[in-house]
Structure 1
Amino acid sequence: MEGISSSIIIDDTTLRDGEQTAGVVFSKKEKIAIATMLDAMGIQELECGIPAMGKDEQASIRALVDLGLNARLITWNRAVREDIEASIACGVKAVDISLSVSDIMIAHKLGKNREWVKDQLKRTLEFCKKKGLYVSVGGEDSSRAEIPFLLELMSIALEFGADRFRYCDTLGILDPFTMFDNIAALRRGVPELDLEVHTHNDLGMATANAIAGIRAGARFVNTTVNGLGERAGNAALEEVVMALKLALGIELGIETRQFHQISKLVGSASRRPVPPWKAVVGERVFSHESGLHTDGVIKDPANYEGFDPEEVGLRRHLVVGKHSGASGLMERYRSMGIHMEREEAKMLLCRVRSTAQRNKQALSDKDLSRLYLDNKADNWAA
């Protein structure tokens, strides 16, 4: 597809931005488990922490380095020498150096000006490259920065040896059309420097914005498992990978059958349970109740499923409730070892729907067994 890099890299930041979710803390053991599973799945890069936070964080990062993973480990740093030194001490070979780039943050967060930002970028990059580090320049609040200033920073980054520039929609305020236009403009302006997109979900568009950035030419994309992250979260790993595969036809070679398992692991470690309706990995996103839909799925799952649930480690559920039809009811009873003719199913539907309406929920196997026996008893009595 025109404009899309042939070698897209997932930089998963569950262990950094994901852990920055208010109230979330991963233990070292949990970080090792998450990193190991992501690596085994084929995730190419893991943003694994912030060494400047102190000794506990540094010990966790060192433990990840010692695993000898295939994935590149990269740490998040302010664009200051002390942070970089802390990262080097952990044994990592790649760093993200973050600078606020919007005028509002430069003035009201840093209390500086654009010239200071440019000088700080030069000094920090010079130090990083003397140490032989791979460097991503993180443009905090890029989505509220002016494109000409971002191009100026990208040119400096390129001149001083940076490996890529991270365009951050820090407040999650963009729409996919604007994201596409902005990334395309940066790509045209400094085509020699790889671009990375970092999106937040404040308006519910993190995944859409990530995909738009990739379509516009970004080669790197940040994700988190389950969309974990500050405020409303980040672009979800499972959503981005499956969207690339199914909507754009781009296969990254990631073992998607492990998505449900990694989702459960991160949900448990973060104490943020995954909603059953969560896109791609929710336990019930392949549930069917409507008579029309259930009948179609029984005939051919492709009628109402965009992909096989097994692709992400899930399975299909045929739910019996208020909206069920005869085909779904017969199939559900068949799974319980009860063969039922269509006419019998049609007669039983009234009781099924009435029970679901009264209980305000789907029927369990126990409910269905009771209704089946009651129906048989009534027929015998008649």
Structure 2
Amino acid sequence: MSEQNGCSNGIACLGGVGGPWPRRLRVGLLDSTLREGEQTPGVSFTVEQKLEIARLLDEAGVSMIEAGHPNVAPDVYEAVKRIIGLKREGVIRRAEIVAHSRAVKKDIEVAAELEPDRIAIFYGVSDIHLRYKHRVSREEALSIIGEVIEYARQYGVKVRFTAEDATRADYGFLLEAVRTAREAGADRVSIADTVGIATPYAIRRLFERLTSDEPGVEYDIHAHNDLGMAVANSLAAVEGGATIIHVTVNGLGERAGIAPLEQVAVALKRHYGVDVVDLRRVVRLSRLVERYSGIPVPPTAPVVGENAFVHKAGVHVAGVLANPETYEPYPPEWVGRSRDYTIDKYTGRRALQARLERLGVRVSDEELVEILKRVKQRASARWLRDEDLLEIAEEVTGRALRPRPPEEIEALVTVKCEANIYTTSVARRLSIIPGVEEVAEVTGENDILLRVRAKSPVELNQVVEAIRSTRGVRETYTMLVLRRIPMSGGNGGQRQQ
């Protein structure tokens, strides 16, 4: 587990940066994509998909992975079992593996036999849950909470108690429930805003009172997003004393989901200077979970949405070209992305000139004015492609600006191999496929890089399909080479100094 600024247990630390708090803030992330995330309507991950997500979460650096509720279904049991196995084998090296459980001895027994790092036992503590769901009195509820936590502790496993619907509970009873859980052996208590009705001020005040009145445990925040305040409430909880934030990739979860991992992680760095995960990995995680869940990420989603770093209005683009901080709260490079801007009726002169120069086109001031005029006349277009812009520029300048179609197609294909497969043997099999001209084993997220040539799109598709069908290949990604940029000067292609 990672350490930062002297803090351990996978929790990053901060001393007053970005806020007026005299004490050190400690915070880590528990990712519940495999449990809460799979409770998203319409989502069901396979066991293999869960293993891949768990590995990436650990590589990103989350403090805890909530692997699932093993008594829900056989495939969930199998996934939790194998994820715990990855931890024992050292594949998952940092994250604590958490198994979920109702406050029922049978559930606890099933979870405990898998030997997770921690069992998370949940029980509703609001009067509406006690009356209509559990149908018990407050006194009976406290007895159940204490009994099941003591029972779980007999297995020698750490226990987190989740106070479900805590934000609608009577504070005095909530405090009794927390105290009961601590005395029974729970070292963590999760405060759940189960229906997402809290406000940041109320959340911060609640955690300040709990950490003051019952300081013997560590506190989690589990914030639902029904009113769009899950991220704000999670940050407020940390300011009040919480040390773990529950998140899911892309904000999956029941109804409107819970706090998204990618948004919380960036917000913690931006506002408090705390690095809780490797931000360069969050986009890959988002894309993977988007594909496996079947839930598309909206273009306007913060951090990972297609439009997150795309600017439109002319005044915005002019500002960004002068200094990106004018209209960006943090650099896109934090998450391995880059900024861009659209060309449409909102485009200004500076943006148009910059785009033309990026395409290698230089025009006079008069030509630029005329090109801009014609761009704005295309009011029905959502945005213009570079091809469209070059066509307009050719009409205005009378010069041929678009390159001639290539006589052949060149592509770069990245390959990820199956686990426990000898990469070199896969590379050798790929090297004999007709159309594959170069093969290189590489470091990073992919294992092999191929350079491919074909005489037509149909032929290229055949080559790529042959690559995908090769034994040991798990995943491929194809990039077309649009044009090669020659190195300046002579000297064997080296740059002149």
TM value normalised by structure 2 = 0.73
Instruction: Find out whether 1:110 has 2:134 as its counterpart.
Output: yes
Q: What is the match of residue 398 of structure 2?
A: 377
Q: What is the match of residue 39 of structure 2?
A: 20
Which secondary structure state, in structure 2, belongs to the residue aligned with residue 15 of structure 1?
coil
The alpha carbon displacement at 1:6 in A equals: 3.9
The alpha carbon displacement at 1:4 in A equals: 6.2
The alpha carbon displacement at 1:147 in A equals: 0.8
Q: What is the match of residue 200 of structure 2?
A: 176
Is this contact kept in 1: 2:344–2:384, CA < 8 A? yes
What is the percentage of aligned positions where both structures have the same residue? 35
Q: What is the match of residue 69 of structure 2?
A: 50
Q: What is the match of residue 235 of structure 1?
A: 259
Deviations 1:234-284 (A, max 9, x none): 0010111111111122232x1101111110000111000111110111122
The alpha carbon displacement at 1:317 in A equals: 1.2
AA aligned opposite 2:393: Y
Is this contact kept in 2: 1:5–1:219, CA < 8 A? no
Instruction: Find out whether 1:247 has 2:271 as its counterpart.
Output: yes
The alpha carbon displacement at 1:5 in A equals: 5.2
**Equivalent of residue 232 in structure 2, options 204, 208, 224:** 208
Is this contact kept in 2: 1:330–1:342, CA < 8 A? no
Which secondary structure state, in structure 1, belongs to the residue aligned with residue 263 of structure 2?
helix
Bigger helix share: 1
Equivalences for residues 101-180 of structure 1 within 5 A: 101-180=125-204
Instruction: Find out whether 1:297 has 2:316 as its counterpart.
Output: no
Q: What is the match of residue 250 of structure 2?
A: 226
Q: What is the match of residue 279 of structure 1?
A: 302
Is this contact kept in 1: 2:112–2:152, CA < 8 A? no
Which secondary structure state, in structure 2, belongs to the residue aligned with residue 263 of structure 1?
helix
**Equivalent of residue 7 in structure 1, options 3, 14, 26:** 26
Is this contact kept in 1: 2:68–2:99, CA < 8 A? yes
Q: What is the match of residue 54 of structure 2?
A: 35
Deviations 1:57-96 (A, max 9, x none): 1111111111121211101110111111111222313011
Which secondary structure state, in structure 2, belongs to the residue aligned with residue 340 of structure 1?
coil
Deviations 1:338-369 (A, max 9, x none): 123444322211111111x122x011111101
Deviations 1:160-211 (A, max 9, x none): 2111111000001111111111111111110121111000110010111111
Q: What is the match of residue 82 of structure 2?
A: 63
Which secondary structure state, in structure 2, belongs to the residue aligned with residue 358 of structure 1?
coil
**Equivalent of residue 317 in structure 1, options 318, 340, 353:** 340
How far apart, in 1, do the equivalents of 2:221 and 2:336 lie? 27
Aligned residues: 375
Q: What stretches of structure 1 of length at least 5 have no aligned partner?
A: none
Which secondary structure state, in structure 1, belongs to the residue aligned with residue 186 of structure 2?
coil
Aligned CA distance change for structure 1 residues 5 and 226 (closer, same or farther; 3 Å):
farther
Q: What stretches of structure 2 of length at least 5 have no aligned partner?
A: 1-15, 400-497
**Equivalent of residue 266 in structure 1, options 259, 274, 289:** 289
Deviations 1:16-46 (A, max 9, x none): 0011001100011110111111100111100
Is this contact kept in 2: 1:290–1:325, CA < 8 A? yes
Instruction: Find out whether 1:333 has 2:356 as its counterpart.
Output: yes
Which secondary structure state, in structure 2, belongs to the residue aligned with residue 264 of structure 1?
helix
Is this contact kept in 1: 2:367–2:397, CA < 8 A? no
Aligned CA distance change for structure 1 residues 5 and 126 (closer, same or farther; 3 Å):
farther
How far apart, in 2, do the equivalents of 1:260 and 1:4 lie? 32
AA aligned opposite 1:41: A
Aligned CA-pair RMSD: 1.4
Bigger strand share: 2
Q: What is the match of residue 463 of structure 2?
A: none
Larger RCO: 1 or 2 (CA < 8 Å, sep 6+): 1
Q: What is the match of residue 95 of structure 1?
A: 119
Deviations 1:303-359 (A, max 9, x none): 22121112112221121111111111111112222123444322211111111x122
How far apart, in 1, do the equivalents of 2:22 and 2:55 lie? 33
How far apart, in 1, do the equivalents of 2:221 and 2:392 lie? 54
The alpha carbon displacement at 1:302 in A equals: 2.0
Deviations 1:93-132 (A, max 9, x none): 3011001100011000111111111111111111111111
Aligned CA distance change for structure 1 residues 145 and 4 (closer, same or farther; 3 Å):
farther
Is this contact kept in 1: 2:310–2:340, CA < 8 A? yes
How far apart, in 2, do the equivalents of 1:93 and 1:287 lie? 42
Is this contact kept in 2: 1:74–1:96, CA < 8 A? yes
The alpha carbon displacement at 1:52 in A equals: 1.0
